[in-house]
A and B are shown apart, each in its own frame.
Chain A
Amino acid sequence: MSSVEQKQPLSDGPDWSFELLGQYQAEIERVAKLYKLDTYPNQIEVITAEQMMDAYSSVGMPIGYNHWSYGKKFIQTEQNYKRGFMGLAYEIVINSNPCIAYLMEENTMTMQALVMAHACYGHNSFFKNNYLFRTWTDASSIIDYLVFAKQYLSHCEEKYGISEVEDMLDSCHALMNYGVDRYKRPQKISMDEEQKRQKDREAYLQSQVNQLWKTIPNKGDLSAEHEYRFPSEPQENILYFIEKNAPLLKPWQREVVRIVRKISQYFYPQKQTQVMNEGWATFWHYTILQHLYQENLVTDKFILEVLHNHTNVVFQPEYNSKYYSGINPYALGYAMFTDLRRICEQPTEEDKEWFPDIAGSDWLETLHFAMQNFKDESFISQYLSPKIIRDFHLFAITDDDKESTLEVAAIHNAEGYQQIRQTLSAQYNLSNIEPNIQVYSADITGDRSLTLRFIPNKRIPLADNFQQVLKHVHRLWGFNVQLEQLNDDGSVKLLGSCPL
């Protein structure tokens, strides 16, 4: 420690310069290495507030194709920002290799350092190592793919008209959540290959579709085929099904469906790891900057500003506060990782009972293991400790529309821990949040109608704007579309169809 203390602290600004950014970055990287954070190379881009708003409205994609909905988002962001209703995020980080992180020009030196630690080492290492990202996204090809998508779509706009492309995108966006493969691993390819393959795919797909519809209904076979259903199993990836099987889509339209589907797939892991990802990044910006402070590399003023911001970020309003809007993923994630470290370093009797495997183990290894192998749902059900439940004063509420009142199902006491853990975990399970709708059948021998089937989870109905979505499905499919609901008792109810 004595040799370390002789170091000269880095300037705490408040103004930053590229030289200073470099110095901080080097120190942060050195500390990150000590903690075995394994990252993609960083590409740190300094941008202005206006550019940050641009980045916002294209949902964080550095290169987005053009669509009115991004314009709408931009207008909203601009309005809110200019009227002071919202501040802009300090950073945006993109899951790519090299990992692109945006720093806003307006930030002070302290904030830039905090953002670098948070994004360039926290999020970056999460992107590189979490199993969901490793399985579902390919960081090295995403930028290429977005470039390809943008070029392809603007090419389509020239060729087929802006409105045509816009219609397609509208419809695909409506089904974006249903364009995800949950089980199949997507393949990795680069842009060159993508372009080459795209041409082949066009021709091939069209020929396949034609083949499909050549199965002309044969009167003799009709009774024998009565039980035959296409697809033979329900398909959860509706966009994929449409891309491969919609009878009337032109080749370029299939490609558009594919682009939307791919991008949806790319964002799929982010939806499932909000708590973990933010918690991990927050834990590391805190830990790394504290480490620098202990080495006397940063000033008191610096660390106070960091702590001020850090506390704001991890603030969790209570259920009856007017600021309450659900559980703050930064707060929960940060608390859980910090607690995990505590369980390893200073386990109590309770921890030994609840976490016999990790209590007293090497904290760094345990944290890395947790980061790599879980998503929000499983992370919470594995690691939410009674201490966190007590600290947050968590309680579970049962809201059943058959009852006239809500009921408190469990609170932060010994009897309630397990239930709160399960309920909270289920709250982050996407299949509990998004309605379960699958392609049930396509009547390829008859009127070519498409049947979607909705299976309610705990009797939670579908929001009644589904008719509008059906219109979009109809536009893509080209023939009648029906939506059925499969009830608990096995009965099937027709919810709606398009055209009506």
Chain B
Amino acid sequence: MAHFIDRRLNGKNKSAVNRQRFIRRYKQQIKQAVSDAISKRSVTDINNGEKVSIPGKDITEPFFHQGQGGHRERVHPGNDQFSPGDKIKRPQGGQGGGSGQGDASADGEGEDEFVFSISKDEYLDLLFEDLELPNLKKNQLDKLVQYKNVRAGFRSEGVPTNIDIVRSLQGSLARRVAMTAGKKRELHELEAKLALVEAEPVPDQHQLMALREQIELLEKRIGAVPFIDSFDLRFRNFQKRPEPTSKAVMFCLMDVSGSMDQATKDMAKRFYILLYMFLSRSYKNVEVVYIRHHTQAKEVDEQEFFYSQETGGTIVSSALKMMADIVKDRYDPAEWNIYAAQASDGDNWADDSPQCADLLAQQILPFVRYYAYIEITPRPHQSLWLEYEKLQQSFDNFAIQPIRQVADIYPVFRELFKKQAA
């Protein structure tokens, strides 16, 4: 009267929908938690999910239940000291005295936070929701197109290497069946007739001969149907399909002159990390080029970029020139999607700023998908910012934003990449 069912292979994510419903419902709170987290998060730990904590009282489901007070009687086990009539001080915190006080957290007054983890993908989805890569659409057409061979069915002509044996033999079999079926039927009939004639006591030799002749002829014709015909051959067909390039390169430009301290660089780093994560969601492989500069620019690796200390003045144009050169040498704009982010505290040699604007306008902005400049400084803007501001009028793939503290980074990032109203 019992039967066993092995359900272990059934899907285990029966609750996935409900989990999504939960996240959907508390999106606002979760998003808040996520954007709070980005500013607290360690810079190296960016590929993980995130622990999200939302106020416990936001997610309770209210229902009518009893509050505290009134007259209650409760039975407890384990009496070790009491006699009837004993007076006991009312315990604080519910231990021992009355489990009725356990209600305190159920009614939503508790301060408990509801903490749970979201996966990396959920985290990134929430983090980058409503963001998009600027100018992607407009530039899609002139994006370099690469071709990829893809299978596209079968055809009846082609080169021998592409012969599809199974298909060809299927064709051959079908043809042979089609061409011999009628003759075979005829043959069977004749053979049956022959057997009849032969079975007669005195076979009619004349008839026998005629039948044998006919049978021989048919067998010859059946044998003449070729096992395989060029007509049977099927070849695998390939087509070239255009594929938008998925290569992107991200230039990180940073001022490392004496005025940039480690805290400022860390802020810049966060911005670069966000940009990198964001780009890697759109492109399969993203290369990163680090260019740092004081009075001279230098291409460096990540470690040196962020953590080596330099002193001296600042000439921004040196870095821009270097970037333009590197693009010319290694990253053909027809083949690569180029993004650049420049971080600086705004210091620049005053005469250099107009030169920067020129370089950008002539040699860089026409080729890049997006160029973002962030200025990390609590001070008023200087010449570089003012020059850049002018540029912004004429290029819509150029954006500048000031950042004052760590918590600004994410909002600024969102501001830069927010979906443009159509």
Question: Would you list the 7 A-B pairs with minimal beta carbon distance, nearest first?
Answer: A318-B78, A71-B22, A460-B70, A71-B18, A42-B2, A463-B67, A468-B62
Contact B21 A461 (CB under 8 A): no
How far is it, in angstroms, between the C-alpha of A50 and the C-alpha of B9 when the chains are bound?
11
Contact with B along A43-83 (1 / 0, CB 8 A): 11111101101100110000000111111101110110000
Query: Which residues from chain B contact A71 at a C-beta distance below 8 Å?
Result: 15, 17-23
Contact B67 A462 (CB under 8 A): yes
In-complex Cβ contact of A411 among B1, B26, B62, B82 (8 A): B82
In-complex Cβ contact of B75 among A317, A318, A395 (8 A): A395
Nearest B residue to A173, CB-CB: B61
Nearest A residue to B94, CB-CB: A325
Query: Which residues from chain A contact B223 at a C-beta distance below 8 Å?
Result: none
Contact A423 B25 (CB under 8 A): no
Stretch at the interface among A289-297, A429-437, A440-448: A429-437
- How far is the CB of A24 from the nearest CB of chain B, in Å? 10
Nearest A residue to B89, CB-CB: A405
Contact A320 B90 (CB under 8 A): no
Query: Which residues from chain B contact A325 at a C-beta distance below 8 Å?
Result: 99, 102
How far is it, in angstroms, between the C-alpha of A341 and the C-alpha of B181 when the chains are bound?
85
Nearest B residue to A104, CB-CB: B8
Contact A321 B78 (CB under 8 A): yes
Given contact pairs A46-B7, A57-B18, A325-B99, a sample of 6 additional A-B residue pairs in the complex whose CB atoms are under 8 Å apart: A58-B14, A72-B114, A320-B80, A327-B77, A393-B79, A399-B100
Query: Which residues from chain B contact A459 at a C-beta distance below 8 Å?
Result: 69-71
Stretch at the interface among A200-208, A219-227, A269-277, A412-420: A412-420
- Chain A residues within 8 Å of chain B by Cβ, number: 101
User: Known contacts A427-B74, A459-B69, A463-B103: does B88 contact A79 (CB below 8 Å)?
Assistant: no
Q: In this assembly, does B86 line the interface, its C-beta being within 8 Å of a C-beta of chain A? A: yes
How far is it, in angstroms, between the C-alpha of A346 and the C-alpha of B13 when the chains are bound?
52
In-complex Cβ contact of A393 among B59, B77, B90 (8 A): B77
- Of the candidates A54, A325, A420, the one having the most CB atoms from chain B within 10 angstroms of its own CB is A54
Q: In this assembly, does A407 line the interface, its C-beta being within 8 Å of a C-beta of chain B? A: yes
Contact with A along B31-66 (1 / 0, CB 8 A): 000000000000000000000000000011111111
Contact A68 B24 (CB under 8 A): yes
A–B complex contacts, Cβ < 8 Å, 16 sampled: A42-B3, A50-B13, A72-B59, A79-B115, A120-B2, A327-B75, A398-B72, A399-B71, A409-B73, A412-B79, A427-B73, A434-B66, A459-B70, A461-B67, A463-B66, A463-B67
Contact A393 B75 (CB under 8 A): no
In-complex Cβ contact of A406 among B14, B60, B80, B97 (8 A): B97
Contact A177 B84 (CB under 8 A): no
- How far is the CB of B127 from the nearest CB of chain A, in Å? 19
Contact A435 B6 (CB under 8 A): no
How far is it, in angstroms, between the C-alpha of A75 and the C-alpha of B62 when the chains are bound?
19
How far is it, in angstroms, between the C-alpha of A427 and the C-alpha of B100 when the chains are bound?
11
Q: In this assembly, does A144 line the interface, its C-beta being within 8 Å of a C-beta of chain B? A: no
How far is it, in angstroms, between the C-alpha of A78 and the C-alpha of B13 when the chains are bound?
12
How far is it, in angstroms, between the C-alpha of A410 and the C-alpha of B82 when the chains are bound?
9
Contact B72 A462 (CB under 8 A): no
Contact with B along A372-403 (1 / 0, CB 8 A): 00000000000000000000111111111110
Contact A397 B66 (CB under 8 A): no
Contact B74 A53 (CB under 8 A): no
Query: Which residues from chain A contact B79 at a C-beta distance below 8 Å?
Result: 319, 393-395, 411-412
In-complex Cβ contact of A174 among B8, B63, B69 (8 A): B63
User: Known contacts A460-B71, A462-B64: does B78 contact A393 (CB below 8 Å)?
Assistant: yes
User: Known contacts A72-B22, A397-B74, A424-B75: does B64 contact A51 (CB below 8 Å)?
Assistant: no
How far is it, in angstroms, between the C-alpha of A318 and the C-alpha of B92 when the chains are bound?
18
Q: In this assembly, does A191 line the interface, its C-beta being within 8 Å of a C-beta of chain B? A: no
Contact B2 A25 (CB under 8 A): yes
How far is it, in angstroms, between the C-alpha of A102 and the C-alpha of B8 when the chains are bound?
11
Nearest A residue to B71, CB-CB: A458
Query: Which residues from chain B contact A469 at a C-beta distance below 8 Å?
Result: 62-64
Q: In this assembly, does B85 line the interface, its C-beta being within 8 Å of a C-beta of chain A? A: yes
Contact with B along A109-143 (1 / 0, CB 8 A): 00000000000100000000000000000000000
- How far is the CB of A430 from the nearest CB of chain B, in Å? 12
Q: In this assembly, does A22 line the interface, its C-beta being within 8 Å of a C-beta of chain B? A: yes
Contact with A along B219-240 (1 / 0, CB 8 A): 0000000000000000000000
- How far is the CB of B29 from the nearest CB of chain A, in Å? 12
In-complex Cβ contact of B74 among A120, A401, A423, A435 (8 A): A423
Contact B66 A460 (CB under 8 A): yes
Contact B86 A408 (CB under 8 A): yes
A window 454-488: CB within 8 A of B: 456-466, 468-469, 472
Q: In this assembly, does B330 line the interface, its C-beta being within 8 Å of a C-beta of chain A? A: no
Contact B8 A48 (CB under 8 A): yes
Q: In this assembly, does A324 line the interface, its C-beta being within 8 Å of a C-beta of chain B? A: yes
Q: In this assembly, does A18 line the interface, its C-beta being within 8 Å of a C-beta of chain B? A: yes
Query: Which residues from chain B contact A217 at a C-beta distance below 8 Å?
Result: none
- How far is the CB of B58 from the nearest CB of chain A, in Å? 11
Q: In this assembly, does A404 line the interface, its C-beta being within 8 Å of a C-beta of chain B? A: yes
Query: Which residues from chain B contact A41 at a C-beta distance below 8 Å?
Result: 1-2
How far is it, in angstroms, between the C-alpha of A411 and the C-alpha of B86 when the chains are bound?
10
How far is it, in angstroms, between the C-alpha of A9 and the C-alpha of B207 when the chains are bound?
84
- How far is the CB of A114 from the nearest CB of chain B, in Å? 15
- How far is the CB of A270 from the nearest CB of chain B, in Å? 17
In-complex Cβ contact of B63 among A51, A162, A177 (8 A): A177
Q: In this assembly, does B287 line the interface, its C-beta being within 8 Å of a C-beta of chain A? A: no
Q: In this assembly, does B202 line the interface, its C-beta being within 8 Å of a C-beta of chain A? A: no
In-complex Cβ contact of A45 among B1, B5, B82, B103 (8 A): B5
Query: Which residues from chain A contact B88 at a C-beta distance below 8 Å?
Result: 397, 405-408
Contact with B along A168-205 (1 / 0, CB 8 A): 00100111111000000000000000000000000000
How far is it, in angstroms, between the C-alpha of A246 and the C-alpha of B24 when the chains are bound?
29
